[in-house]
């Protein structure tokens, strides 16, 4: 993103708006970046259906991580578009469940093992605005696909686990701030909400075939990013 004003642009926009200049200014071109940080996965809901029972469970997950990279193009107007690849992963701590067998329903909870992860390829669009010299705010969103994977999910001490993966539609909203360290390098902090549509897995647990339906992932990430612009932004 554009991070600094030239004096003329600053004077013109201030005179017209009566405020600080907010228009991204000089330079445009390609950039590449990396990002990473903490990821919080909201409780993950799962429905189980088999020939002998139906059930519902909800996981509680530990704080995980998100890491990835992006490449895109930015215009003088402050708009930019990019492609992004990001991996997210969270461990499962416990779950609560209710099960119905032969018309009888029971419920309980257990500590759990396993991970829930996603590998997403997204196409994002942003608009950024300078709030002072070298410092800007931006917001945007994206759509794409994510490979969602449940790996080794089981109650602690169980002898069987659920593992499967599926590619689903994904979407996200993004907001952050960036600071130009030099004419080619920026560092930023951003929040991302990342979600997917529900998934459906076929699995076998203790010799019984199950259909496992999920409600979709809901992730909240806080990340630091570093971008390099191929050509001076100033």
First vs last C-alpha separation in the chain? 11
Task: Give the domains, in start order, of the chain with CATH numbers.
Answer: 7-229 (2.40.160.20)
Range of weakest confidence among 55-59, 180-184, 204-208: 204-208
Nearest CA among 64, 40, 45 for reference residue 198 = 45
Mean of all residue pLDDT scores within the chain? 84
Give the whole-angstrom CA distance, residue 109 versus residue 112. Answer: 9
User: What is the model's pLDDT at position 153?
Assistant: 81
User: What is the model's pLDDT at position 27?
Assistant: 53
User: How many secondary structure helices (H) and strands (E) does the chain include?
Assistant: 1, 12
Range of weakest confidence among 22-26, 82-86, 191-195, 203-207: 22-26
Does residue 39 register a pLDDT over 90?
yes
User: What is the model's pLDDT at position 232?
Assistant: 58
- H helix intervals, the chain: 7-17
User: What is the model's pLDDT at position 164?
Assistant: 79
Whether the full predicted model's pTM is greater than 0.95, yes or no, is: no
Does residue 119 register a pLDDT over 60?
yes
User: What is the model's pLDDT at position 221?
Assistant: 98
User: 132-161, pLDDT tens digit by residue?
Assistant: 999 999 999 999 999 999 888 888 888 777
User: CB count, 10 Å around CB of 103?
Assistant: 5
Which SS3 state, helix, strand or coil, does residue 206 take?
coil
User: 49-106, pLDDT tens digit by residue?
Assistant: 887 778 888 889 999 999 999 999 999 899 999 999 999 999 999 988 888 887 778 8
């Amino acid at each position: 993103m554009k991070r600094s004003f030239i004096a003329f642009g600053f004077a013109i926009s201030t005179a017209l708006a009566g405020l600080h200049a907010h228009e991204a200014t000089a330079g445009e071109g390609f950039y590449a970046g990396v990002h990473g940080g903490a990821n919080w996965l909201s409780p993950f809901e799962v429905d189980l259906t088999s020939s002998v029972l139906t059930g519902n469970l909800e996981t509680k997950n530990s704080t995980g991580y998100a890491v990835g990279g992006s490449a895109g193009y930015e215009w003088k107007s402050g708009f930019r578009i990019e492609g992004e690849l990001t991996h997210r992963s969270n461990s499962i701590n416990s779950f609560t469940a209710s099960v119905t067998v032969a018309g009888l329903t029971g419920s309980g909870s257990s500590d759990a093992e396993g991970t829930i992860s996603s590998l997403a390829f997204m196409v994002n669009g942003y608009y950024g605005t300078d709030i002072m010299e070298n410092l800007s705010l931006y917001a945007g969103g994206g759509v794409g696909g994510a490979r969602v994977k449940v790996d080794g999910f089981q109650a602690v001490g169980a002898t069987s686990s659920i593992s499967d993966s599926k590619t689903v539609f994904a979407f996200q909203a993004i907001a952050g701030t960036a600071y130009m360290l030099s004419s080619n390098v920026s560092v930023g902090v951003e929040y991302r909400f990342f979600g997917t549509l529900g998934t459906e897995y076929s699995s076998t647990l203790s010799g019984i075939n199950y259909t496992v339906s999920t409600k979709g992932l809901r992730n909240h990430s806080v990340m630091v990013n570093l971008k390099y612009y191929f050509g001076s932004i100033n």
